[in-house]
Amino acid sequence: MSAELAAQALLHGPGPAQRRALAKAITLLESTRADHRLQADELLNALLPHTGRSFRLGISGVPGVGKSTFIEALGLFLIERGHRVAVLAVDPSSSVSGGSILGDKTRMERLSVDERAFIRPSPAAGNLGGVTEKTRESMLVCEAAGFDIVIVETVGVGQSETAVAGMTDLFCLLQLPNAGDDLQAIKKGVMELADMVVINKADLDAAAATRAQAQITSALRLLGLHGRSDRAHHDDTLWHPQVLQLSALHGQGLDVFWAAVSRFRELQMASGRLAARRRAQDQAWLWERIEAGLRQRFREHPVVREALPQALAEVQAGRMAPSVAARRLLDGFGRAEPASPTSPADPATSASPSPPASSAASEAPASTASDVSCASDASDASDASPA
């Protein structure tokens, strides 16, 4: 099917045909085949004018905190009020462990069978850069299909939280009622990302939930004072991170939660911060993809492949500083690169600002090449932003 036809099927409006088109489009986006990538790029471009109209909500929290219970309850709450809800996941562990989120089909049983909802597990694209890339693109496709609320779920481990905060309008952290006692999230720096903190399972221990709410509220205030100055501001036209408590299991507090989300959205739109946040996210996404593409081209370049073992040996023998070796390799690559034609196996690299790079790059078996250039791989995800 041409991109135009695929786009038409998606834009056609809700129904079984659209669901099929949506699932197919996302499968296309997740494919690692170069010809699929070209089709996917065309599809994305055709859909782009129809994207951006949803509200993008990021949800994170440790396994067991109640993410899927919460998202299901919230999803049902929202579709009852006329919304269409898409749920996507970012879980870089999914290709290794089978995934800790959305992998289990019994999760969100009621929401998943509802026509007005669409649930997609995490792509098994390997490294975080690959996973977030697919999820970001899937989000655009869901928006074009008319889902006006897109929820992106992630596990509260590692850099995936930063990645999800970097693709959503509001990032919400779920905590347990005893969270205030150790404030793990603060130590990890995740709290700084949160626009909202929700103490879930408040039904289990109301006193603990209230204590946690007070502790986290004051911790956020301190962060505002010492960290992000915009959050310390006592200006009613600006959003200040809020801490709420609820019980996802009993559906208690969802209305208060959604009222807070709506208030956030209004304030952010009125102040222009919503648009600015999305612009910054797009810019970061562009740079992240450029850097991932360059890294792959560098690693695969014959000149680099040839010179790398020697450079690595020099570094490991203590005869050359790593920085010097890196500079020499880069110089060699830079001199050779303009003359080298793009590999026919990878036509998308030259056709798109978002080459199908990072997943392939990181799935490559460990070699001397990756041993050297991998040093930056851990930051593949979202810290590549120059913004």
Q: Which residues bind ligand GDP (CB under 6 A)?
A: 61, 63-69, 200-201, 203-204, 247-249
Between 249 and 315, name the residue whose CB sits nearer to ligand GDP: 249
CB of 189 to ligand GDP, least distance (A): 20
CB of 150 to ligand GDP, least distance (A): 18
Tokens of 1: 């099917």
State which residue has the least CB distance to ligand GDP. Answer: 66
Between 197 and 311, name the residue whose CB sits nearer to ligand GDP: 197
Angle 36-15-115 from CA coordinates, rounded to 5°: 100
CB of 173 to ligand GDP, least distance (A): 12
Between 212 and 248, name the residue whose CB sits nearer to ligand GDP: 248
What distance in Å separates the CA atoms of residue 34 and residue 285, rounded to the nearest whole number?
20
189: left (phi over 0), alpha (psi -120 to 50) or beta: left
CB of 103 to ligand GDP, least distance (A): 11
Between 204 and 321, name the residue whose CB sits nearer to ligand GDP: 204
CB of 39 to ligand GDP, least distance (A): 34
Residue 78 near residue 85, CB atoms below 8 Å: yes
Between 65 and 357, name the residue whose CB sits nearer to ligand GDP: 65
Between 146 and 156, name the residue whose CB sits nearer to ligand GDP: 156
Give the DSSP letter string of 40-97: HHHHHHHHGGG-S-SEEEEEEE-TTSSHHHHHHHHHHHHHHTT--EEEEEE-TTHHHH
Element (H, E) at 120: strand 117-120
- Half-sphere exposure (Cβ direction) of 30: Cα atoms closer than 13 Å: 19
> Which long-range contacts (C-beta less than 8 Å, at least 24 apart) are formed by 270-276?
270/237, 271/237, 271/238, 273/239, 274/169
CB of 149 to ligand GDP, least distance (A): 18
